[in-house]
Structure 1
Amino acid sequence: MKFRDGMWMVAEGKRPEYAEEVYSIAEHPAGNSLSLLCPTKRILQRSDSLNLPTLTIDIRAPFDGVISVETTHWLGALNPGPHYDLYPAGKPEKCNPGISKTDTSTTLRSGSISATVKTGNHDFDIRFHATDGSKELTSLLNRSVGFAYSPAPSNQLVTGDMSKFQHYIFTQTTLSVGESVHGLGERFGAFNKVGQAVTLWNADGGTSSDQAYKNIPFWISSRGYGIFIDTPDKVELEVGSERCCRVQTSVEAQRLKWYIIYGPTPKEVLQKYSILTGKPGKVPSWSFGLWLSTSFTTNYDEKTVNSFLEGMKARDIPVEVFHFDCFWLRAFHWCDFVFDSEMFPDPKAQIARLKASGLVKKVCVWINPYLGQASPVFKFAASKGYLLKRKNGDIFQWDLWQTGMGIIDFTNPEACEWYVSCLEGLFDKGVDAIKTDFGERIPSIDVEWFDSSLDPRKMHNYYAFLYNKVVYEAIQDRFGENEAVLFARTATAGTQRFPLQWGGDCESTPEAMAESVRGGLSLGLGGFAFWSVDIGGFEGYPPPWIYKRWVAFGLLCSHSRLHGSNSFRVPWTVDDDDTSEQGCSKTLAKWTSLKARLMPYIFAQAQIAVEQGIPLSLRAMCLEFPEDPTSWFLDRQFMFGDSLLVAPIFEESGDVEFYLPKGRWTSFFTNKTRVGPGWFKEHHQFDTLPLYVRENTILVLGKWHEMRTVYDYAQGVEVCLYQTKPGAKTTVVDSEGEEVGVLEIGEEGHLIDQDFLTGAWHVTRNGRSTIKSKATEN
């Protein structure tokens, strides 16, 4: 939303008003907040205080390293919900607030961050900076805070009828020279958002548009701070795109609140952000294995499912989770939780046979929060008030996706209870995990929720939180707190608490694979630890080379799923069952096996990611190397945990160019080392890619023959030392995520504290064993 036409003119049909000075400051007695009265013109004489608007800016110190800023035009305006569920684990007690003054300024301190307000010469100048004076972060300067009408009113009298006007609040934080901005959800465009106009409004737009399934009102700056916009409402940002030197945030409302979070490192920013909106939930070790789907519109039954899994077993490709996509339900009946009796006459027995065969451990099914009117369940749900209504009392319906589709109203506690009972029916049949698809197409016009106090526009994005929360907690109640797994498509702030998320509908092209990488990187910077993608691409028929390159990328995401639209993703259907070493089947088998071997590292890193509120994979390079300016612009590679660098390949030829930050890096596949910083070019076949291990890493690998993801991560392992120095450490956890020991390099350069390792484990130096050999017991 632009309010100006260039620097000098107002945008057509808009009338912005700006806070022109800080007229007065009220201090809270506790010393933890300031309230600024800011008129929209400078007050040079007493009569200037009449017939003009003011803005109130409340600056507060909620906890150490964080300051909130709330701008309000009319204080009497209601502020209906929903509101984000902040501090889900409790508000931290640690805070060191205080107020200090000089002749020309007032400063509010909140631990490591401070806000200084100039108070002389009719200024409007608010600076956010490190309390110790080491760094200025950003600021609110002249004409940077205000409100706007659209259309422009002819005089103040006509605003007596606000139904004829839209009213916006906006702020413009300064962008420094060279500063970059990242995050704002799962965005598939350029990684650095400077120069972009971004609308935070959940939409089913695929991965090739500026729309996003997961809009997160949080962004992180290369200057060591982040900003969380505290509203699920539709937010529009001009990131250096209205004024090149500012980030403008606007919302159609009477108030706008955001938090500025000081790191100074980006990891610390995310850790503090997770205090506000919640840490990611833990996921079980089995979920890191390969998931295989039936695909979307394909025709399948029990015979089809068994043939897939038997084919995978015959090709040494273990499947941990089998996923039944949409057509486990009857056509026109989505989503009434009733299996298609013609294709699946006894689903409970079928699932039991599937698990008893040993072909798969867990089963997942697809659901969405909608209900087609063809199902008898529709009438039942409508009669009980479980579906969203129009203002006149009609059920809200449209023929979008499902004919006469209704929408489950999760603001109705009884609707939630009923929905959970439907999920329990699936669990009784043997279902272990749920793919929570959709949740983006939530209307905001002519609707009234069961909780009529809620703002329909705010509910559009917030619905994703309620929907996934209900399903996630139902799985927790059945299987245990750390055993719940979703495959969710839509999200908003806080939804990281209900893992995991996947990247939505992508095409089967190298460009779409690159879009997906950018989406995963951006979402990770919103505190989402776990993320996946449709391996091979969702739309279309991937050529074998795309499929194989995507397999390598997909098995190095935190979670890995084969899924398509109208074609299967089992490897032999992609390349006519090429049995060569570089065929689809052998390629998938190698990468699946590699992920299984990496599980001691992956699962230990997963616990750290949850605790710190940071992504496991895809982890943006800037999180690990914030002092390297190049790391803030790398959107074709990522870190998997803190020690593995991954550069997917987007060329059929196998040519790839990637960047290594400062230090010595060792190729996982060859043990050859490279020294960064610098750009490097390599050529790879389909069973390798640039996978580099950071120096001073102790990398614990499972046995050569490990194929599944759940095993004893301390037994028979290979402990690989990569240019380690005294003090280097790594934690080993069990398959439940509990710590079993810490490996450390002692002063003599040898491994100490290793008594907890069992079986025929061994140590390799300067890399790993690249030839299978019998391990020797220590």
Structure 2
Amino acid sequence: MKFTDGFWLMRDGVHASYATEVRDLHVSEDRITAYAAVTRVRHRGATLNTALITVEAFSPAEGVIGVRFTHHAGKVHPGPDFDLPGADAGTAPARTRRDGDVVQLSSGPLTLRLDTARPWGLEFRGGDGRRLTAAERKGTSFVTTPDGAHHMAAQLTLGVGEQVYGLGERFTPFVKNGQTVDIWQADGGTSSEQAYKNVPFYLSSRGYGVFVNHPGKVSFEVGTESVGQVQFSVEDQTLEYYVIAGPSPKDVITRYTALTGRPALPPAWSFGLWLTTSFCTVYDEETVTSFVDGMAERDIPLSVFHFDCFWMREYQWSDFQWDPGAFPDPAGMLTRLKERGLRISVWINPYIAQKSVLFAEGAARGYLVRRTNGDIWQWDLWQPGMALVDFTNPEARKWFQDRLRPLLDQGVDCFKTDFGERVPTDVVWHDGSDPERMHNYYTQLYNRTVFDLLEKERGAGEAVLFARSATAGGQQFPVHWGGDCFASFEAMAESLRGGLSLSLSGFGFWSHDIGGFEGTPDPDVFKRWLAFGLLSSHSRLHGNVSYRVPWEFGEEAVDVTRRFTLLKHRLMPYLYGAAAVAHRTGVPVMRPMLLEFPEDPACRTLDRQYMLGPDLLVAPVFTADGEVEYYVPRGTWTHLLTGETVTGPVWRHERHGFDSLPLLVRPGAVLPLGADDRRPDADWLDGLTLRVHPAPGDAALTRTVGVPDGTGRTAAVFHVTRDGDRLRVRAEGTDRPYRVEIADGAVEEGAGEVVVTLR
């Protein structure tokens, strides 16, 4: 939110009070509390009829420093608040130090510095003493507006050339400089500034991050209100933010997800191809069976079948009852599908239509959100007379889970938790939560309720969602998909931008609707999107008004689907290893280039390519004719599909057929490949291939590669060393035979230790 009129003036009726000088200071072993006057105090009378801002500095975890500043502390705080599982769990306690007028708070490699002899300012420095950012002259304030609203506002400096990323899944430009971003859940598609997944966290190219610990609306001005500052404000009496240390972007993500929660590890089967009935298409068991038969007849492995909205009867979403006209024997149908090796997903949402049998039941028990006058909140958007489940009520959460449990008993394996963004603010919540703060936070309660049920019923490691909405901490309940996009190349590109932005907001897993959701894609769009979709962490064929079975788009689309599905299955030992890393550290499976190459300035703006795990560069093709431009960082890279090499740093302009795209292996990589390309959850040590890509002239290659099992634990480790023209691989944890392939064509097989002579 902007408060100023240019650099010199305030907007009409707006008044800002800035922390100006320290009038009192309390310093304990691990905390600083400063009382800042909002004007220069030149005599005792100046302390009257004015305000103080109370500023507290503390550390909730190693490498994280929190700043909380308050105007009036007496405001009632009904919640909700973000759950921060990593708070107070740091291994290195914060410590303070006072040297004359300067007081410091340090936590790990991060230090906050306050000089009480100077005008107000908080400076944050990294482990090398370098200044990262600062809250300067106007950096700590409260602001009143003509409508009587009271805002707390912070400004943190932007250095020359500093770039800002993240703030959730945003479809606007990847670098957020120059943008106004409101953290406010909205069902706005993928073609506007609105977003389904709003996260008040940003990552800086200078090696730090900032998390605003406020679940309600946070308004960010990223170099807009003041071009040298990131401003963020909330309508409240208190604002709390955390500066998170690097120095690398991965370090920032690791610390941020330790604080807000690490993603669960999705089951291996979920990485295979998902096919859905699509939304408004006509379908029944015969249709579903024809789709499954069609995939099998065309030799396309299918892992998950999803039933979208109309598995339930019209006007009755959600009642969690199968439409008997289309599915007279749902239990039998699911048994038949599961006998074919499929997992089952069904669509749900947290809205209860008035015609649903659950409406009267939920109303009578007090499980639906009510207006301030006691009426149940309802409207006719989406479903007639729909109401909203009140997940702040523990009994309502249990009631909702109890309605889903029979579906699990029938054979359903997971749920697509759609919606959760259209949450009103003119309501009263069961637990007394502030409606404004609950608007964004609702999705966290919704997805947690469903995920907890799956973990309880299916066991840890088997729970997975396909969720649309999220906020900070939502990464704990994967997977999330990109929402309603158009069937066009432009929407394909904006979907990727959104996913890369989300990945820099702490989310380890992400997917999207292959071919686009709205409308019917041109076959060229569909085929290009297939390669992109099957080189994402999760892959789903889904649409709105038309089916997304590949033969609807021609035989070439069938071939492309098969090619990239089989390829993804072979890559699973590598991909699931990256998934296990995301689970342990928060570093995402799909990584913006800057995450792997922060030292390369060319990588800082790239939003049409990404790293899939640490060693695969993917550049989707966004044209029908196959023209693609992409950047290759330093070193000699190898095209995985063709074996050709390219030496960077260099920009490449290439043309690819529909069965190809730039898919490059990083120099020095050792890529574990499975032998079974029919399923994503195979025994990856059975017939394992290690494809080694030594960099030219790299006579001292040393690499250790782990191969996970289906739980994400390391099943075997392979130690790879090079001595001149001999490459030695030693297996640890397995005595099974494996194959070693060198990019130059040399091949050896064996068990235990394998030695390959380079050509």
Same fold (TM over 0.5): yes
**1:54–1:774 CA distance, 2 compared to 1 (3 A):** closer
- Aligned residue identity for 1:719: L
Q: Which moved more, 1:16-25 or 1:39-48?
A: 16-25
What residue is the counterpart of 1:124 in the other structure? 120
* Contact 1:60-1:69 within 8 A present in 2 as well: yes
What residue is the counterpart of 2:392 in the other structure? 411
Q: How many residues align?
A: 746
What residue is the counterpart of 1:138 in the other structure? 133
Q: Following the alignment from structure 1 to structure 2, what is the Cα–Cα distance between the partners of residues 100 and 418?
A: 53
Q: Following the alignment from structure 1 to structure 2, what is the Cα–Cα distance between the partners of residues 83 and 93?
A: 20
Given the alignment of the two structures, is residue 762 of structure 1 paired with residue 739 of structure 2, yes or no?
yes
**1:775–1:64 CA distance, 2 compared to 1 (3 A):** closer
- Aligned residue identity for 1:714: L
Q: Following the alignment from structure 2 to structure 1, what is the Cα–Cα distance between the partners of residues 744 and 276?
A: 36
Q: Which of 553, 570, 587 is the equivalent residue of 1:574?
A: 553
Q: Following the alignment from structure 1 to structure 2, what is the Cα–Cα distance between the partners of residues 614 and 737?
A: 15
What residue is the counterpart of 2:580 in the other structure? 607
- CA apart distance, 1:767: 6.0
Q: Following the alignment from structure 1 to structure 2, what is the Cα–Cα distance between the partners of residues 470 and 546?
A: 37
What residue is the counterpart of 1:668 in the other structure? 640
* Contact 2:708-2:716 within 8 A present in 1 as well: yes
What residue is the counterpart of 2:529 in the other structure? 550
Deviations 1:549-603 (Å, cap 9, x if unpaired)? 000000011000000001000011123xx3xxxx110011001010001011111
What residue is the counterpart of 2:277 in the other structure? 294
Pairing 1:91-102 to 2, within 5 Å after superposition: 91-102=88-99
Pairing 1:627-706 to 2, within 5 Å after superposition: 627-703=599-675, 706=677
- CA apart distance, 1:132: 4.1
Q: Following the alignment from structure 1 to structure 2, what is the Cα–Cα distance between the partners of residues 747 and 761?
A: 18
**1:173–1:767 CA distance, 2 compared to 1 (3 A):** farther
Deviations 1:92-149 (Å, cap 9, x if unpaired)? 241242222333421111221111111114x11211002441x110001112211111
Deviations 1:505-547 (Å, cap 9, x if unpaired)? 0000111000001000010111111110000000011011000
- Aligned residue identity for 1:190: P
Specify which structure has the higher proportion of strand: 2
What residue is the counterpart of 2:708 in the other structure? 733
Q: Following the alignment from structure 2 to structure 1, what is the Cα–Cα distance between the partners of residues 253 and 720?
A: 29
- Aligned residue identity for 2:257: S
* Contact 1:62-1:95 within 8 A present in 2 as well: no
Classify the secondary structure of the residue corresponding to 2:22: coil
Pairing 1:74-473 to 2, within 5 Å after superposition: 74-87=72-85, 91-121=88-118, 123-133=119-129, 135-151=130-146, 165-356=148-339, 358=340, 360-445=341-426, 447-452=427-432, 454-473=433-452
Classify the secondary structure of the residue corresponding to 2:395: helix
Deviations 1:684-712 (Å, cap 9, x if unpaired)? 00111000011111101122x62211111
Deviations 1:636-690 (Å, cap 9, x if unpaired)? 0001000001000001110101011122211111222212112111110011100
* Contact 1:261-1:269 within 8 A present in 2 as well: yes
Aligned-CA RMSD value: 1.6
* Contact 2:213-2:240 within 8 A present in 1 as well: yes
- Aligned residue identity for 1:435: K
Q: Which of 471, 495, 507 is the equivalent residue of 1:528?
A: 507
Q: Following the alignment from structure 2 to structure 1, what is the Cα–Cα distance between the partners of residues 171 and 213?
A: 23
Q: Which moved more, 1:750-759 or 1:288-297?
A: 750-759
Deviations 1:319-345 (Å, cap 9, x if unpaired)? 100000000000000001011011111
- CA apart distance, 1:752: 2.9
Q: Following the alignment from structure 1 to structure 2, what is the Cα–Cα distance between the partners of residues 523 and 202?
A: 14
- CA apart distance, 1:758: 6.2
What residue is the counterpart of 2:692 in the other structure? 721
**1:767–1:25 CA distance, 2 compared to 1 (3 A):** farther
**1:584–1:767 CA distance, 2 compared to 1 (3 A):** farther
* Contact 1:715-1:757 within 8 A present in 2 as well: no
Q: Following the alignment from structure 2 to structure 1, what is the Cα–Cα distance between the partners of residues 81 and 737?
A: 54
Classify the secondary structure of the residue corresponding to 1:353: helix
* Contact 1:600-1:733 within 8 A present in 2 as well: yes
* Contact 2:739-2:748 within 8 A present in 1 as well: no
Q: Following the alignment from structure 2 to structure 1, what is the Cα–Cα distance between the partners of residues 175 and 548?
A: 33
**1:301–1:197 CA distance, 2 compared to 1 (3 A):** same
**1:346–1:146 CA distance, 2 compared to 1 (3 A):** same
List, as ranges, runs of 4+ consecutive aligned residues in structure 1 with deviation greater than 4 Å.
Answer: 755-760, 773-778
Q: Following the alignment from structure 1 to structure 2, what is the Cα–Cα distance between the partners of residues 131 and 343?
A: 63
Q: Following the alignment from structure 1 to structure 2, what is the Cα–Cα distance between the partners of residues 233 and 187?
A: 17
**1:566–1:768 CA distance, 2 compared to 1 (3 A):** farther
Classify the secondary structure of the residue corresponding to 2:583: helix
- Aligned residue identity for 1:766: A
Deviations 1:384-419 (Å, cap 9, x if unpaired)? 111001111111101110000010011111111111
Pairing 1:738-757 to 2, within 5 Å after superposition: 738-746=713-721, 748=723, 749-754=726-731, 756=733
- CA apart distance, 1:473: 0.6
Q: Following the alignment from structure 2 to structure 1, what is the Cα–Cα distance between the partners of residues 354 and 105?
A: 57
- CA apart distance, 1:481: 0.8
Classify the secondary structure of the residue corresponding to 1:377: helix
Classify the secondary structure of the residue corresponding to 2:85: coil
Q: Following the alignment from structure 2 to structure 1, what is the Cα–Cα distance between the partners of residues 88 and 142?
A: 31
- Aligned residue identity for 2:363: A
What residue is the counterpart of 2:46 in the other structure? 48
- Aligned residue identity for 1:437: D
* Contact 1:517-1:636 within 8 A present in 2 as well: yes
What residue is the counterpart of 2:488 in the other structure? 509
Q: Which moved more, 1:201-210 or 1:759-768?
A: 759-768
**1:598–1:35 CA distance, 2 compared to 1 (3 A):** same
Q: Following the alignment from structure 1 to structure 2, what is the Cα–Cα distance between the partners of residues 290 and 131?
A: 44
What residue is the counterpart of 2:757 in the other structure? none
TM-score (norm 2): 0.96
What residue is the counterpart of 1:154 in the other structure? none
Structure 2: which 5+ runs fail to align?
755-759
Structure 1: which 5+ runs fail to align?
152-163
* Contact 2:740-2:748 within 8 A present in 1 as well: no
- Aligned residue identity for 2:727: H
Given the alignment of the two structures, is residue 72 of structure 1 paired with residue 67 of structure 2, yes or no?
no
Q: Following the alignment from structure 1 to structure 2, what is the Cα–Cα distance between the partners of residues 142 and 5?
A: 18
What residue is the counterpart of 1:712 in the other structure? 683
- CA apart distance, 1:213: 0.1
- Aligned residue identity for 1:303: E
- Aligned residue identity for 1:184: L
Given the alignment of the two structures, is residue 594 of structure 1 paired with residue 571 of structure 2, yes or no?
no
TM-score (norm 1): 0.94
- Aligned residue identity for 2:40: R
Q: Following the alignment from structure 2 to structure 1, what is the Cα–Cα distance between the partners of residues 60 and 326?
A: 56
Q: Following the alignment from structure 2 to structure 1, what is the Cα–Cα distance between the partners of residues 217 and 527?
A: 39
Identity of aligned residues (%): 47
* Contact 2:668-2:693 within 8 A present in 1 as well: yes
- Aligned residue identity for 1:112: P
- CA apart distance, 1:63: 2.5
